[in-house]
Structure 1
Amino acid sequence: MDNGPTQEARPAPAIAAPSAGAARGPASVADLAEGLLDAVVNISTSQSVDVAGRGVPPLEAPEGSPLQDFFDDLLQDRDGLGNRRVQSLGSGFVVDPSGVVVTNNHVIADADTITVNFADGTQLDAELIGTDPKTDLAVLKVEPEEPLVSVKFGDSEALRIGDWVMAIGNPFGLGGSVSIGIVSARGRNINAGPYDNFIQTDAAINRGNSGGPLFDLNGDVVGINTAIISPSGGSIGIGFSVPSNLAVNVIDQLREFGETRRGWLGIRLQAVTDDIAEGLGIGEARGAVVMGIVEGGPSDNGLLKVGDVIVSFDGAAVESSRDLPRIVAETPVGKAVAVEVLRKTATDKPAERTSVEVTLGRLEDGEKLMAESDDAAPTSDPEAAETGDTDAGPVETLGMTLTEIDPTLREQYALAEDAKGVVITAVAPSSNAAEKGIEAGTLIREVAQEEVATAREVADKIAKLKDEGRRNALLLLAASNGDLRFVVVPIE
């Protein structure tokens, strides 16, 4: 049988075989390690812990028993009865010959005293310059008699998966120890903080390595060893390092100000799924969708709108909602930046690309503003006057029972006085809405990016979508606290 014209077979592209040396890895890192070991330090901390009141009853012997003296000696130390000195060990490295040392925040957290131990046996008390729990970084200062051996930061963005790296640290308190491996992955999110972008490596990292440097084979610091995944506490070849490009900005701010000063856009975000991308008419899933504007924040100027999908920030592409907070945080406070968004202006037209300019605020000030806003949130007022067609009865659609806001529902679901939309009063357990996590007390604000005010309006718009052959309904939902999210519910 003739299957049509055939194409001439082409040879597969040649793949260069690795050299014998490359297959084994570097022949030796002895010279490299020798020049770096003196810049890597051990960090020891001490903390006084009051063990009284921790559920352990005091040790008491019968009256007159000589055992009472023994019990008292058992609990007594230099800080008094019931106190114990807790010590811990970690790693760090010198980044300035004058005595600036970088380590992890969790290594020195809650410490009463911090001591930096050098390879030659020198011990120096350290002053804490600043910490950043969000990236788990801390900067210390010691006062050496002579300039210290220091190391410099390299470009973590230049790392490729498979590149050789070397870790130096203080595993299990054994002192300076060197291990080597490769970059196993980049951009790892292990839910350690809001700016997770870890380098994963199989170079052995164990307890006590925290805060130590990860070097490339040029001897530059490309990461700060922070965490491991291990059922035993020992290395199983899954270690994580804070990338140098993320760390340098934080360290510079801690050295200059003693605190971080991150950029802040003043918006709430949601990830763009394939369903949401289809509902918003933006094609492939990318970017971060704006779900709220913080009142009084940098974006509270009417330029950004709920439903906008941010795809570029200050010239940097935004691939996902996880990328944007990190990019914004690394941008200087007060900088006017161009924010490119995809915005849908009509239901029957694809989203259009547009650009707005926002002058960034400071994240730390924004966190205070949002906390104050939450504390001052309006409470429900059962006697508040209502507007709209409240005589219309409940409507059922997509497994949801809907009705307009009235004083009773406002009180029942603790809805804000200025809450808008249609109240979901019940959700059928086996419905598509239930599978999407929609619950009673939630408000529907928009259907297919069109505002709704009555239950009948919701049902009519969903019916229209079904008549148009649409398979899903894009709903903008509001929780009782005002938080917004997009949900795509299949239309049956």
Structure 2
Amino acid sequence: MHDRRPVPPAQPSHRPLSRSLLSARKFALMASVVAGLGAGAYGLGHSHGSFDLLGTPAQAQQVGANVHAAQQPVGFADIVDKVKSSVISVKVNIADKMARNEDREDFSLPPGSPMERFFRRFGGEMPPGMRGHRGGGMITGQGSGFFISADGYAVTNNHVVEGADKVEVTTDDGKTYKAKVIGNDPRTDLALIKVEGGSSFPYAKLSEGKPRIGDWVLAVGNPFGLGGTVTAGIVSAMGRDIGNGPYDDFIQIDAPVNKGNSGGPAFNTAGEVVGVNTAIYSPSGGSIGIAFSIPANTVKAVVEQLKDKGSVSRGWIGVQVQPVTPEIADSLGLKKAEGALVAEPQSNGPAAKAGIESGDVITAVDGTPVKDARELARTIGAFAPGHSVKLTVVHKGKDRELTLTLGELPNKIEASNTDRGDRGGSSSGLDLPKLGLTVAPASAVAGAGKEGVVVTDVDPKSAAADRGFKEGDVILEVAGKNVSSPSEVRDALASARSDNKNSVLMRVRSGGSSRFVAVPIAKS
């Protein structure tokens, strides 16, 4: 082993500099410039026609050392010490009514059950340990959560505790407590639970502001049942829509998040909760660096209502809406592809009573522009039922303003009685080759009703197929005109071409809902 003795620090000197020392001072000068960029000053002097570093060689070496130290990653230990004790592991037991074979150790989760949705949300197979106890008829699952008050209120995901018969939490110091579900909100996937048996729990603070893309975040949770685990990453994106519902507004982070992290917090470097980890994108079932968190401002608004009354009430106008695509905007003569297109107002809903019709585009609420359908849903949902709002609507190419009183969003969406059964009985129809569709009057197709024309065949290589048309869809309107026969469809298309339209807007009923589809039309 070599004897490495400390090198004595260089002493101030006014002697001529050697070549090696000149090199050292040149390096120190570069380091000083780098340091100066951060400090706002360079510390350069002028001597004999060339720039030089003010100070001694020892000071130059110290500057270089400081820059080197500044380049080292700063740890998160102090932040973790501050916040980790507020995070809990959540364990749930759910009675499995499907488990009747006492000799069976493993069983699949019933489709649509809370725990099946829990694991589908995180992808992959049901992990070891998620098994029914022999003869017990119970399923156990684990997630995460965090205290938001000293008296034991804690936040987790709805899909972690939904349908649970028993909820237990384990704190960072290893103690286990019983908990009860105070309220839940499936639309945002949040739940509020109350931990029993304590009054001085360490708790986390919800952030008042929004994080920025590139900010550090720490995810703390219970991945794979391992207990308090910390991972770090950055905010990758904001406002993500993952198809979970109209209130999707997720923060995307790249901190590793896995099964069991669900319901746990994502902290900023100030130790505040910026989001609740709820989902990951994962082809493999494990983390690939794409996770999604519910923003703190959403958590705060939902938790306040859950604590107050155990559920969430949202304003409701009673419309099916969809985004305005560039093709739809062109079909409607709109200057911008913005706003929310009303596919169908619900009968006797606030919008229908106020005079809103299919094909209208809602562009503003109380004077504030509406970017898209999701923003409209979030804006209206933030108001309490009974609140009066003024909507700006484009109706047949003209702006108009309507005032309506919001209803209350139903907790459960009732399925429409639109199952028309067997659509067989008549396969004859008129070909629309330029669209790739074959259609027939609804009255000629068994079970299709009397309105519109039914799609009886779709060319898989056509523009219509690319836009989601399928056999059995019912075309109700073409270019704003009701249609009940193939000839009316053809006439409406011809009229749109003569008006130099690039695409035609069709209102289509598919299953239990309606939507508008912009289909390009040939000029010749």
Give TM-score, length-normalised by structure 2: 0.71
Match of 2:267 in 1: 215
Match of 1:308 among 343, 360, 373: 360
Distance 1:424 1:51, change over 3 A: closer
Match of 2:408 in 1: 362
Q: Percent identity?
A: 38
- 1:25 CA drift (Å): 8.4
Residue 306 of structure 2 is aligned to residue 259 of structure 1: no
Given that 1:99 and 1:141 are in contact with CA atoms closer than 8 Å, whether structure 2 keeps it comes out as yes
User: SS of 2:493's equivalent?
Assistant: helix
Q: For residues 511 and 285 of structure 2, what CA distance do their matches in structure 1 show?
A: 43
Alpha-carbon deviations, 1:216-241, whole Å to 9, x = none? 22222110111223455443322221
Residue 289 of structure 2 aligns with an amino acid whose one-letter code is G
Q: For residues 357 and 299 of structure 1, what CA distance do their matches in structure 2 show?
A: 9
Alignment of 1:228-377 (within 5 A): 228-344=280-396, 351-364=397-410, 367=412, 370-371=414-415, 374-375=416-417
Match of 1:486 in 2: 517
Alignment of 1:77-476 (within 5 A): 82-83=135-136, 85-155=138-208, 158-344=210-396, 351-364=397-410, 367=412, 370-371=414-415, 374-375=416-417, 398=434, 400=437, 406=443, 409=444, 412-416=445-449, 419-422=450-453, 432-433=463-464, 435-439=466-470, 442-452=473-483, 455-476=486-507
- 1:215 CA drift (Å): 1.3
Q: For residues 231 and 419 of structure 2, what CA distance do their matches in structure 1 show?
A: 57
Q: For residues 315 and 53 of structure 1, what CA distance do their matches in structure 2 show?
A: 59
- 1:442 CA drift (Å): 4.6
Given that 1:264 and 1:329 are in contact with CA atoms closer than 8 Å, whether structure 2 keeps it comes out as yes
- 1:46 CA drift (Å): 3.1
- 1:21 CA drift (Å): 9.6
- 1:174 CA drift (Å): 3.1
Distance 1:480 1:226, change over 3 A: closer
Given that 1:51 and 1:83 are in contact with CA atoms closer than 8 Å, whether structure 2 keeps it comes out as no
User: SS of 2:497's equivalent?
Assistant: helix
Q: For residues 452 and 48 of structure 1, what CA distance do their matches in structure 2 show?
A: 52
Q: For residues 378 and 44 of structure 1, what CA distance do their matches in structure 2 show?
A: 40
State the structure with more CA Rg: 2
User: SS of 1:322's equivalent?
Assistant: helix
Given that 1:415 and 1:481 are in contact with CA atoms closer than 8 Å, whether structure 2 keeps it comes out as no
Q: For residues 359 and 250 of structure 1, what CA distance do their matches in structure 2 show?
A: 22
Match of 2:4 in 1: none
Residue 97 of structure 2 is aligned to residue 46 of structure 1: no
Residue 42 of structure 1 aligns with an amino acid whose one-letter code is S
Residue 414 of structure 1 aligns with an amino acid whose one-letter code is G
Distance 1:225 1:436, change over 3 A: closer
- 1:276 CA drift (Å): 0.9
Given that 1:436 and 1:489 are in contact with CA atoms closer than 8 Å, whether structure 2 keeps it comes out as no
Q: For residues 51 and 449 of structure 1, what CA distance do their matches in structure 2 show?
A: 50
Alpha-carbon deviations, 1:47-83, whole Å to 9, x = none? 454674469779xxxxxxxxxxxxxxxxxxxx99622
User: SS of 2:349's equivalent?
Assistant: coil
Task: Say which is worse superposed, 291-300 or 200-209, in terms of deviation.
Answer: 200-209
Given that 1:268 and 1:293 are in contact with CA atoms closer than 8 Å, whether structure 2 keeps it comes out as yes
Distance 1:429 1:23, change over 3 A: same
Residue 75 of structure 2 is aligned to residue 28 of structure 1: yes
- 1:474 CA drift (Å): 2.6
Distance 1:336 1:239, change over 3 A: same
Match of 1:75 in 2: none
Given that 2:330 and 2:502 are in contact with CA atoms closer than 8 Å, whether structure 1 keeps it comes out as no
Distance 1:471 1:120, change over 3 A: closer
Structure 2 runs not aligned, ≥5 long: 1-35, 40-66, 106-131, 422-428
Task: Say which is worse superposed, 281-290 or 458-467, in terms of deviation.
Answer: 458-467
- 1:379 CA drift (Å): 7.6
Structure 1 runs not aligned, ≥5 long: 1-15, 59-78, 345-350, 381-392
Q: For residues 165 and 338 of structure 2, what CA distance do their matches in structure 1 show?
A: 46
Distance 1:141 1:490, change over 3 A: same
Q: How many aligned positions are there?
A: 427
Residue 332 of structure 2 aligns with an amino acid whose one-letter code is L
Residue 87 of structure 1 aligns with an amino acid whose one-letter code is T
Residue 360 of structure 1 aligns with an amino acid whose one-letter code is L
User: SS of 1:328's equivalent?
Assistant: helix
Alpha-carbon deviations, 1:84-132, whole Å to 9, x = none? 5543332211112121011112222333321122223332211111122
Task: Say which is worse superposed, 461-470 or 178-187, in terms of deviation.
Answer: 461-470
- 1:177 CA drift (Å): 2.7
User: SS of 1:83's equivalent?
Assistant: coil
Residue 106 of structure 1 aligns with an amino acid whose one-letter code is H
Give TM-score, length-normalised by structure 1: 0.75
Task: Say which is worse superposed, 457-466 or 297-306, in terms of deviation.
Answer: 457-466
Given that 1:98 and 1:144 are in contact with CA atoms closer than 8 Å, whether structure 2 keeps it comes out as no
Q: For residues 299 and 487 of structure 1, what CA distance do their matches in structure 2 show?
A: 24
Distance 1:452 1:239, change over 3 A: closer
Residue 379 of structure 2 aligns with an amino acid whose one-letter code is I
Alpha-carbon deviations, 1:189-220, whole Å to 9, x = none? 22334422211112232332221111122222
Given that 1:51 and 1:82 are in contact with CA atoms closer than 8 Å, whether structure 2 keeps it comes out as no
Match of 2:508 in 1: 477
Task: Say which is worse superposed, 442-451 or 261-270, in terms of deviation.
Answer: 442-451
Superposed CA RMSD: 3.5
- 1:332 CA drift (Å): 1.7
